[in-house]
Amino acid sequence: MGPHRDNHPLMRAHAAVTVVALVAALMAPSAAAAQQTAARQGTVRTDTLWAQSLGVRKALTVYLPPSYGTSTRRYPLLVYLHGRGGNERDWTNAGLLHRTMDSLVSAGQPEAIIAMPDGDDGWYTTWASLPDAGCATDTVRREPAATYCVPWPHYDDYIARDIVAHLDGHYRTVGTRESRGIAGLSMGGYGALTLALAYPDVFAAAVSHSGVLSPRLRIGAAVTDSLRYGREMNELAAGVRHLWPSLRAVFGSDTLAWRGRDPALLAERLKARVARGEAQWPALRFDIGVDDTWTPQNRDLAASLRALGVAHEYTEYPGAHTWTYWKAHAAESLVFLLTRTGGKE
């Protein structure tokens, strides 16, 4: 099955063929191009910061572009969010995002600083309740309770305020809304879009890869069904499948709390703010593999945005919920964000 594209009339048409050709070129570089790329590699480092919104110190992976150490210029800031069960090293260790960025720079794309924060399993939102007092450690990565079990789980403010302030304060970022973009995969895809919609003063563009983008959608419901969203907790539990324990802990046991964290509702609220001249609409893009569990949710959000008449891009590709898929499409999200934050058309 070929790519599916949401052809909304207000959508900024992305040059899909150009990006696909660029990705193909990156996958099979010539010897000369390989030498040039090797000579122009960025650096990856690990920071720690005090996250006031969480009440703990957190780790942060930072990519600095090839020219950072030899210039005095300022750079756009891109934030890349990991998925559930992941950490701040996922995008470099598993996704090789830094190498993809190096290759794009060698191909003529703008340089940027990339921040990859540790978001725990917090869904990049403010929790409906405080964490379980019995929380001990993150068993997936054996992170100690001192940094995993946060006392004040405001993971949205943590990204939009603490992380951005740390990068703006410690690195040569441009430091404006127009110079910032955000992206993520799975849980991080949800986070990227909801943060851009909730903090349009901070981010100018957002991309979701394989995101959980319509968490209230009932299993098997059509996008034309006016009753397609769960009204009882058991319907919500069935709809999010294996994510239920994680999402219930974060979103709570109140259907209104789930509705308040729904990307479609956040988009509706932001559209009203934009109409009043109070905010700007961020550039939005989301994609997913046709064999992914969350494809119906992505289609539902695309339908909701079309109904609202707001600009967005939505694409489906072959693939599933895997790093094979995310690595294959990381260059596309980088180009989308760089185009909108770094001045490259």
- Is residue 148 over pLDDT 90? no
Q: Per-residue pLDDT averaged across 125-153, rounded?
A: 66
Q: Are 271 and 308 in contact (CB under 8 A)?
A: yes
The model's pLDDT over 175-228, given as tens digits with 9 standing for 90+, comes to: 999 999 999 999 999 999 999 999 999 999 999 999 999 999 999 999 888 899
For the CA atoms of the chain, what is the radius of gyration?
A: 19
- Is residue 29 over pLDDT 90? no
As a whole-number percent, the residues of the chain with pLDDT over 70 amount to 83
Which pLDDT score, from 0 to 100, does residue 226 have? 87
Which pLDDT score, from 0 to 100, does residue 130 have? 77
Alpha carbon 164 to chain centroid, angstroms = 14
Q: Of the CATH numbers 3.30.70.330, 3.40.50.700, 3.40.50.1820, 3.40.718.10, which one belongs to the domain with range 4-341?
A: 3.40.50.1820
The model's pLDDT over 315-329, given as tens digits with 9 standing for 90+, comes to: 999 999 999 999 999
Q: Per-residue pLDDT averaged across 300-307, rounded?
A: 98
Mean pLDDT check: name the lowest of 135-144, 253-262, 330-339. Answer: 135-144
User: Residue 138 — very low, low, confident or very high, per pLDDT cuts 50/70/90?
Assistant: very low
Where in the chain are the domains? Answer: 4-341
- Is residue 159 over pLDDT 90? yes
The helix (run of H) or strand (run of E) holding residue 316 is strand 313-317
- Is residue 248 over pLDDT 70? yes
The CA distance from 155 to 150, in Å, is: 10
- Is residue 25 over pLDDT 90? no
Structure tokens at 64: 């600095």
Which pLDDT score, from 0 to 100, does residue 6 have? 64
- 264-273: long-range pairs with CB below 8 Å, 24+: 264/214, 264/300, 264/301, 264/304, 264/305, 264/308, 266/194, 266/197, 266/198, 267/197, 267/304, 267/305, 267/308, 267/310, 268/308, 269/197, 270/197, 270/198, 270/200, 271/308, 271/310, 273/200
Structure tokens at 83: 């998925």
Mean pLDDT check: name the lowest of 31-45, 83-97, 225-239. Answer: 31-45
Which pLDDT score, from 0 to 100, does residue 277 have? 98
DSSP letters, 151-209, are SS-BHHHIIIIIIHHHHHHHS-B--SGGGEEEEEETHHHHHHHHHHHH-TTT-SEEEEE
The model's pLDDT over 258-295, given as tens digits with 9 standing for 90+, comes to: 999 999 999 999 999 999 999 999 999 999 999 999 99
Q: Per-residue pLDDT averaged across 141-146, rounded?
A: 54
Q: 96: closest CA among 341, 285, 329, 320?
A: 329
Q: What count of other Cβ atoms lies within 10 Å of the Cβ of residue 274?
A: 15
Which pLDDT score, from 0 to 100, does residue 141 have? 47
Q: Per-residue pLDDT averaged across 43-70, rounded?
A: 96
User: Residue 342 — very low, low, confident or very high, per pLDDT cuts 50/70/90?
Assistant: confident
Q: Are 233 and 253 in contact (CB under 8 A)?
A: yes
- Is residue 161 over pLDDT 90? yes
Which pLDDT score, from 0 to 100, does residue 294 have? 98
Which pLDDT score, from 0 to 100, does residue 147 have? 56
Q: Are 191 and 210 in contact (CB under 8 A)?
A: no
The CA distance from 322 to 101, in Å, is: 20
User: To the nearest whole number, what is the mean pLDDT of the chain?
Assistant: 88
What residues have CB less than 8 Å from 177, skipping those under 6 apart? 200, 201, 202, 203, 204, 280
Which pLDDT score, from 0 to 100, does residue 156 have? 98
The number of C-alpha atoms within 13 Å of 66 and in the hemisphere containing its C-beta is: 19
